Structure 1
């Protein structure tokens, strides 16, 4: 299926029996996020908003991994002092920038979105997964709120969605450390809904069950759940943008990236307090 705005076949979409099967399609790079994949995910989400016959969405990644996060080329640009202009522009609604919108668009859809995870869901990948309503994951899936590893903070709606799913102390620990954990622990923490050896198949099965329910009632139920946190969305997303843009290209952030690529311990400068 050809969708306007999808470039280089970065995302595939098929719709059958009311179920939209959306797949990240950069398997040779573990579906790492590059500008083309960012733009393509948003384009597919926008397209699905117009498809009233769609009753559920399954979001997955082709190949061995769901999504390994931002691609290394973007981190190399950061190490050289480059910014995030390719993902930093606000989208048409003005609520999110492109990096946030690839996660938030699934909540803007009126129908349930089910993520199927395997391999890796790191950094932007885990934030993308948290943008879904329900998550199936293979037990061995490696997960991490990885941004601190690169000297930055979650900026793709993750500070909102993470805080909705786990206790504040757990959310902070995951963000502060960037540690990698498997889906078994993620399920215990509340980040994964179901563990399964066949995440895509089970996600499709659940989507089929949902597609057989009254579509008006299902849409109404998602609306009722989401309206509880909608008032805080704009302010939180703006705060994410403010923090990330203050970090990208800063000396300590560049040092974090360079240290990772050079496989050495980073040498950070302490903050300066201005009186």
Structure 2
């Protein structure tokens, strides 16, 4: 996993850590690969009964690596082929594309996943925590659906996960504004399961408790909840990709990136 994600398994509990602390665990290609590989590895390990997902250093995950936005400012769509639809539209991992799967794989995992969140969870990092079954956060954690800052929409499964957690008007407000909110607010809204001073310690404690329950019953319960909540997810995930494809490299999206990188007010065209 190219030193981006580590896994330690003790007594049926998989302790999964994002280990790019110098970049606040930002999502670069290696981190995407590491998350996907970690999820796929755990899928094959029938001894795992619960997973705790957390980040080393000052943050859970600060979102997409800033270097990707620098490439977008040149109109190159992050250095990828110009046909953004062909890049994001194809379902390369089941019902999702690669970026979506870095989040969705934790939903597909047969066992419960607990995200332990501290510091920052912005953009893709926020969506990553939503992929867990439960989310434990510090009261002063700083969270945001930050994509609008860069002229984008959440496209790592976030639209499909948020709609089951929080009132639609709140999701829309946070998506349209990119407002930063605290872990305490996240619990009030429904994004966070618990607020605690040491989320990772609490998550490991609960994971050990879950690991002590019948693995067949736990897996069955997760299958039931997943089926009940996400029957129409394939269409929703495709909607994310289509909208994001049309935004990447477009004039106003490039302007949003340039304005942020140049630390000035954006000048959007109607």
Q: Runs ≥4 in structure 1, deviation > 3 angstroms?
A: 84-94
Contact 1:142 1:183 in 2 (8 A): yes
Aligned to 1:119: 119
Aligned to 1:173: 173
Per-residue CA deviations over 1:216-273 (Å, capped at 9, x if unaligned) read 0001111111101332111001100000010000000000000111111111111xxx
Contact 1:90 1:98 in 2 (8 A): no
Q: 1:66 aligns with which of 50, 60, 78?
A: 60
How do 1:83-98 and structure 2 match up within 5 A?
83-84=77-78, 85=80, 88=88, 90=90, 92-98=92-98
Instruction: Tell me whether 1:18 sits opposite 2:27 in the alignment.
Output: no
* Aligned equivalents of 2:41, 2:97: Cα separation in 1: 18
* Aligned equivalents of 2:38, 2:185: Cα separation in 1: 31
Moved more, 75-84 or 178-187: 75-84
Per-residue CA deviations over 1:181-230 (Å, capped at 9, x if unaligned) read 11010010000010111110000000000000000000111111110133
Aligned to 1:75: 69
Aligned to 2:84: none
Instruction: Tell me whether 1:56 sits opposite 2:53 in the alignment.
Output: no
**How many Å apart are 1:41 and its aligned residue?**
0.4
Contact 1:68 1:121 in 2 (8 A): yes
Taking a change above 3 Å as real, the CA distance of residues 171 and 107 of structure 1, as seen in their structure-2 partners, is same
Contact 2:93 2:101 in 1 (8 A): no
Contact 1:162 1:171 in 2 (8 A): yes
Aligned to 2:22: 28
* Aligned equivalents of 2:36, 2:69: Cα separation in 1: 22
**Counterpart of 1:156 in 2: which secondary structure?**
coil
C-alpha root-mean-square deviation of aligned residues, in Å? Answer: 1.3
Aligned to 1:248: 248
**How many Å apart are 1:95 and its aligned residue?**
1.4
Gaps of 5+ in 1: 1-5, 271-275
Instruction: Tell me whether 1:38 sits opposite 2:32 in the alignment.
Output: yes
Number of corresponding residues: 264
Per-residue CA deviations over 1:156-193 (Å, capped at 9, x if unaligned) read 00001111100010000000000101101001000001
* Aligned equivalents of 2:186, 2:108: Cα separation in 1: 25
**Counterpart of 1:58 in 2: which secondary structure?**
strand
**Counterpart of 1:135 in 2: which secondary structure?**
strand
Gaps of 5+ in 2: 82-86
**How many Å apart are 1:89 and its aligned residue?**
7.6
Instruction: Tell me whether 1:145 sits opposite 2:139 in the alignment.
Output: no
Aligned to 2:237: 237
Moved more, 77-86 or 168-177: 77-86
Contact 2:89 2:242 in 1 (8 A): no
Aligned to 1:265: 265
Contact 1:106 1:131 in 2 (8 A): yes
